Every structure is written in C-alpha cells, then in structure tokens.
Amino acid sequence: MFRTLAGVCSLALLALFTASGANAAPVTEHGATIREGQIYLSPDTTSQKLSTFARGREVAVLERSGKYIHVLATVDVDPNLETTRDISGWMLSRNVVTQSTPDGDKLLFGEAVDSEAEASRRRGRKGAAGDARRLYYRVYDLFPQSPLAGEALYRAADIEWQVDKADTSSRPSSKAADPNLRAQIDDQYMKLVMKKFPHTKWSEMAAFHLIDNKICGEWDGLSKCPLKEAEIYEKYAEEYPNSPDTPEALYNAAYRYGALVDIYRTEAKGDKSADAGKRAIAIATRLLQVQSTDWSTRAQRLRYMVQNSIPVFGNNYE
C-alpha cells in the first residue's frame, strides 16, 4: 500500500522535460504534504484547481516561484479504495515538508502522531489512520538517517498491520484451525522494519506481530493448536528477552499451557495435563519478575487458577 514515486517519476518527468525543453528544472528534492490542500494549474490560488491532496502524499519538487512550488504529486482518485494517480501542478510551499526543511522529520512525525490520535477519537477525522500511516512512512522514506526513522517505519507498519488484520479476521476462513487455510496478514512492511532496523526494539516488536500469521483461528477443543502456539510464544521470549512484547509473549505461553491442563484431561492424557500445569506455573512465576504490572498481575492470577485446579479454558462454572 505504501509506494515510492521513484519509478513513476523517472518516466513522468522524462516526458515532462521532453515537452518543456532544456530549460526544465531538474528534480532536486522530494517531500511530503503535511496538510490537505489544492493543486493549481499555475502559481496562483485564483487559477484553475487541478486536484486536492491529502496528508502524507509524496511530491517531487520541479521548481519554485515565491511562495509556490511546482510539483509532481500523488493524489487520491478514490480514498475509500486508496487508488491514486500522479499529477503535475502548483501548490503552496507551506503545505509541503521537503528533505531540506529544518526539522522536517520531526514535523512529519508530529503530524503523524496527531493524525493517529485523531483516528482513535470517536467521530475523528475521516481517513486519519491512512494519513498517519503515510506520514510515518514518509519520515523513514525521506529522512532514513533520522533518529525517528525506525520508530516511524514501525508505526506505519503497525497501522497497516492492524487494518489488514481486521480485514482478514472478518473473513470466514479466519476461524480455520490451520493457519495455512486462512488469509494471511500482509507482512512485507514488518519484514522491512526487521531488515532496515535489526537489533532494535522496533524489529523485535515487528517480529512479535508476525506470530499472528502462525496461530490457529480456533482450537476446536483440541490440544494441537494451544501446544503449538505456546511453543511459538516461548521461542519468541527466548530469542528476544528484552523486547517490549516479551511479557505478553510469556503470558500467552503460560495461558496456553494452563488451557492444556483441562484439554489434556478431556483427551485422557493425565501425564501431559500435569506437565502442562507445571509449565504454566513456571512461566507465570518467571513473568512475576518482569516489571510489567498488567502482565505480571495477570500471570499471578493465572498461576493461582492452575494451582487451585480452576479451569482456564472454556466456560466452566461451579
């Protein structure tokens, strides 16, 4: 869904330069729109309006004229379908942050944070989540050396992941026990985070998201799925002991072992049931040492339930 104008610009600008002659200004800057506005036929707000643009859209600067810039810009065709096209025209330079803008990375990041907050509000601005996603990505794309680049790319990938996850979860195939029978969440941007920013908390958090594509839709009351998932979460905690998501991974593993205590009993596997209980308690106890109040207190509750033979899985009431 994120895309660069590099390939499009090379062809479009070649045609533009050919038509404009030798006096055409070379492309020296790339930027992104920081607010909504209009693209005009000429450097004059009273001239014909060619199109509107949204936040976070990429632009290539062709030339400048006072408070206006001539750009090749990406604009929306259908915001709901997220279809776009590229158009050449003039816009107010104040609406664009370029690679030469002082603190441009911070400006784009700040606008992205504001858009993300707007998206979380009830009756917030329509399309704010998409604005935030594009703006975060532009921080990474335009300012790859910025201290904010890793977090920005992760946040962009996270928004994309959540949107795609909600879509795949709404499909009938989402209930399939076998992950291979479900529509997979697009992982290319999470993998990009891991590739570009290895050995950072952003890559570790991206790796945690990838687990979503490996877990079952529903367990169907059988031991195969929770056992497999517990092992996946345990492996994550071993590989990324300092990740911000490790406490959640440990809890998820402990919960699944706790659930297996009762599932194994229904399968007449008493020895495995007892072993699952021990592993649930051991992991929950380990989690109590982590400075994460929510997960540690939940782990304490889980340990109490397993120790007192209170069913963890299913609707069991006394």
Q: Cα separation of 126 and 35, whole Å?
A: 14
Burial class (CB in 10 A: 0-12, 13-18, 19+), 60: buried
The confidence score (pLDDT) of residue 147 equals 97
Q: What is the pLDDT at residue 16?
A: 40
Q: Right CATH number for 6-98 from 2.30.30.40, 3.40.980.10, 3.30.470.20, 3.20.20.150?
A: 2.30.30.40
Q: At what angle do helices 188-196 and 201-210 cross, to 10 degrees?
A: 150
The pLDDT, as a whole number, for residue 6 is: 36
Answer yes or no: are the C-beta atoms of 36 and 52 closer than 8 Å: yes
What are the 10-residue block averages of pLDDT along the chain, 318 residues in total?
Answer: 38 38 58 94 94 92 94 79 84 95 97 95 89 96 97 97 92 85 92 97 98 93 95 97 95 97 94 96 92 86 95 72
The full set of domain ranges for the chain reads 6-98, 102-218, 219-318
Per-residue model confidence (pLDDT) at position 81? 62
Q: Which of 36, 32, 35, 26 is nearest to 64 (CA)?
A: 26
Topology adopted by domain 102-218 = 1.25.40
